[in-house]
Chain A
């Protein structure tokens, strides 16, 4: 089973920040949090990952709580093209496989 839980769906107004939460209360100290998204049935697209510090790249920011039990992906200025299913993944310790949950279906509204 996935080690993360996410809300099933969220809406966001175009141009506003989209904040997508994820709970990973059983995460181990050396496990990274990864975020991917899937637009329609395309291949999952890597967004960002982090261990314990907050991270930012050209696509998004990742805020990880101090206890590492949850994180938030922030899309600072959502566009219609950001409508997708967003997956928060914690890789199973000792393996390299990803266990995908059901993700959050983000709909960006015009």
Chain B
């Protein structure tokens, strides 16, 4: 069964450093998402991406964040200058593009720790 994959599974970085989280969505899916979950808190929407552009973003997704689909398979989230409060699990999700394909499928997540 196809699944969303994410790398790395864990990332430790120093405050102020840049990090890139990588995701490989399900093949032939067209909609891509990033969510995050701070330890003990709710899963929060960050951004959605379709047709090579951001279609929606939350207040959390400020200028420090960017997303990219550099090739036909990867979808990345970049945090330009990490802060302590960026420590969280980051989940990528993807969804098909056909009518009726409404379900988002999530990856296993990347645990980011900013020191």
Contacts and interface: CB of A to CB of B under 8 A. Distances in A.
Interface in B43-97: 43-45, 48, 55-56, 58, 89, 91, 93, 95
Contacts of B111: 41
Interface string A86-102: 01000100011111111
Contacts, number: 55
Interface stretch (A16-24, A43-51, A69-77): A43-51
For chain B, the bracket of interface size reads 20 to 34
B94 to A, nearest CB: 11
Interface string B20-41: 0000000000010101010100
A38 B37 CA distance: 11
B18 interface: no
Given A43-B108, A97-B33, A49 B45 contact: no
B31 A96 contact: yes
Contact of B44 (A34, A91, A100): A100
Interface residues of A, number: 21
Given A91-B102, A96-B31, A44 B91 contact: yes
B17 interface: no
Which of A32, A38, A44, A99 has the largest count of B CB atoms less than 10 A from its CB?
A44
A43 B93 CA distance: 9
Interface-central residue, A91, A100, A102, by most chain B CB under 10 Å: A100
28 contacts: A34-B103, A36-B106, A38-B43, A41-B37, A41-B39, A41-B109, A41-B111, A43-B4, A43-B93, A43-B108, A43-B109, A44-B91, A44-B106, A46-B104, A46-B105, A46-B106, A91-B102, A95-B56, A96-B33, A96-B55, A97-B45, A97-B58, A98-B35, A98-B43, A98-B104, A100-B43, A101-B42, A102-B42
